[in-house]
Amino acid sequence: MSRRLALLVNPAAAGGKALAAVEPATQELDRLQTPYRVVETASGEHAKREARAAGADGETPVAIGGDGLVGTLAGAVCGSEAALAIIPAGRGNDFARVLEIPTDPREAANLAATGDTKLFDVGEVDGKSFVGIASVGFDSDANKIANEAKLVKGNLVYAYAALKALAKWKPARFTVVIDGERHEVTGYSVGVCNSKAYGGGMYAAPMAVLDDGLLDVISCADVPKRRFLFRTLPKGFKGTYVEDPWISCFTAKRVEVSADRPFVMYADGDPLAELPCTVRVRPRALHVVVPRG
């Protein structure tokens, strides 16, 4: 393989988990005699500049981190010939999970060096890129709690955040314009999905396809908190909650979302825009290194 890699890592990300993945990853690349360099990034904008420069120089940018870094770098290189590789080292790693990219840094580094490339869609919230799921409402509160939690480790942070958000949750009224058609829903959340999973393994959009040029729109109407906690959330890990009558599913290329109170739309674990906002899809705009076959 002639692929040259630029390993991009935020040393402070995920409590140092991302930085800890660098050594085993580079050991594998040394074994493979794959050319690489390591770039420690200081911010999202710095990471995007480095990814663009790497791609322009014929290198393959490698995101060593979680979904937030992947979504950020996707915006930097989508629309170009540069491919994005991933070494999962965040808390959720949901985009890598859907693509079946190994969580072991050595195996993921091997894939970055030797894998195939495939074109995928990229979502945008008011021009800011994401690869997974953009959601708002109850999810906004839970995401904020998860991002602020310092003592809860790993995927447990998502369960902790959901329980804490649910305790204070009051239904919101959302207006969702789906390719020009207006819908109203009072309840928990609206998700605009490029990929299938978020939140550390919840399959919120089990029917989503990464290269179909469409976004899957999922809304959850109001139900008693007990039912939401013991039925909707557990079924979310298998994707079977979409069968419930309070869940609505659509597909679209453009989605406008507003609500009766302020919310921030989150995607890939990061806050992207305050409501009202517009979500679009860029069809087959991003080359990603994936497992062979």
The Cβ of residue 18 has, within 10 Å, a number of other Cβ atoms equal to 26
Task: Compute the distance between CA of residue 32 and CA of residue 34 in angstroms, rounded to an integer.
Answer: 5
- Greatest mean pLDDT range, 154-163, 232-241, 262-271: 262-271
pLDDT of residue 203: 94
pTM, full prediction: 0.92
Enumerate the domain spans of the chain.
Answer: 5-114, 130-283
pLDDT of residue 158: 82
Task: Compute the distance between CA of residue 10 and CA of residue 40 in angstroms, rounded to an integer.
Answer: 6
Query: Do residues 232 and 241 touch, judged by C-beta distance below 8 A?
Result: yes
pLDDT of residue 153: 64
Helices (H) and strands (E) in the chain, counts: 10, 15
Of 292, 290, 284, 289, whose CA–CA distance to 122 is shortest?
284
Helix (H) or strand (E) holding 136: strand 133-137
**Band of pLDDT at residue 152, cut at 50, 70 and 90:** low
Query: Do residues 69 and 39 touch, judged by C-beta distance below 8 A?
Result: no
**Maximal CA-CA distance, the chain:** 57
CATH number corresponding to 5-114: 3.40.50.10330
Tens digits of residue pLDDT in 2-40? 799 999 999 888 778 899 999 999 999 999 999 999 999
When pLDDT is averaged across residues 219-240 and rounded to a whole number, the result is 92
CATH number corresponding to 130-283: 2.60.200.40
DSSP line for 191-258 = EEESSS-BTTTB-S-TT--TTSS-EEEEEEE---HHHIIIIIHHHHTTTGGGGSTTEEEEEESEEEEE
**Band of pLDDT at residue 270, cut at 50, 70 and 90:** very high
Of 84, 112, 99, 95, whose CA–CA distance to 21 is shortest?
112
Task: Compute the distance between CA of residue 263 and CA of residue 261 in angstroms, rounded to an integer.
Answer: 7
Torsion angle of the four alpha carbons 103, 268, 61, 86, in this order, in degrees rounded to the nearest 10: 10
Residue 1 pLDDT greater than 60, yes or no: no
**Band of pLDDT at residue 200, cut at 50, 70 and 90:** confident
> Residues with Cβ < 8 Å from 127, sequence gap 6 or more?
none
